[in-house]
């Protein structure tokens, strides 16, 4: 069955994470896996690490501020779940495109 509703836009991710797998030390047995999507990683990087406003970060990812807010909230929840449960956190998947090209606003004067 085909997915209903509006098609999901690709989110622009500017940096591929250097490390895509975090595993807790000292936990016996095999810890649960938590998946943090690439766009979730980028949202946390822009908002929490770089300190951009949600409006600026959303513009960087080419999505609306409301969508950015949802992505960020979901990513923070997954990250918190992984830390609290001592789970392995994997950064993978999502609906994204990696682009290092910066957005430039050029206007021509007449």
Tens-level pLDDT at each residue, the chain (110 residues): 566 777 777 777 777 778 788 888 766 667 789 999 999 999 999 999 999 999 999 999 899 999 999 999 999 999 999 999 889 999 988 877 777 665 533 333 33
Which residue shows structure tokens 């050029």? 106
What's the rounded Cα separation, in Å, for the pair 79 and 91?
A: 10
pLDDT of amino acid 15:
75
pLDDT for position 30: 74
End-to-end Cα, the chain, rounded Å: 52
Structure confidence at residue 14 (pLDDT):
76
What the block records as the tokens of 74 is 């979901």
């Amino acid at each position: 069955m085909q997915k209903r509703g509006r098609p999901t836009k690709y989110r622009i991710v500017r940096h591929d994470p250097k490390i895509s797998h975090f595993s807790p030390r000292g936990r016996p047995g095999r810890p649960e896996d938590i998946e943090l999507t690439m766009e979730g990683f980028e949202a946390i990087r822009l908002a929490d690490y770089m300190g951009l406003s949600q409006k600026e970060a959303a513009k960087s990812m080419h999505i609306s501020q409301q969508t950015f807010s949802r992505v960020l909230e979901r990513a923070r929840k997954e990250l918190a779940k992984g830390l609290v449960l001592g789970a392995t956190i994997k950064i993978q998947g999502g609906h994204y495109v990696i682009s290092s090209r910066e957005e430039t606003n050029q206007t021509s004067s007449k």
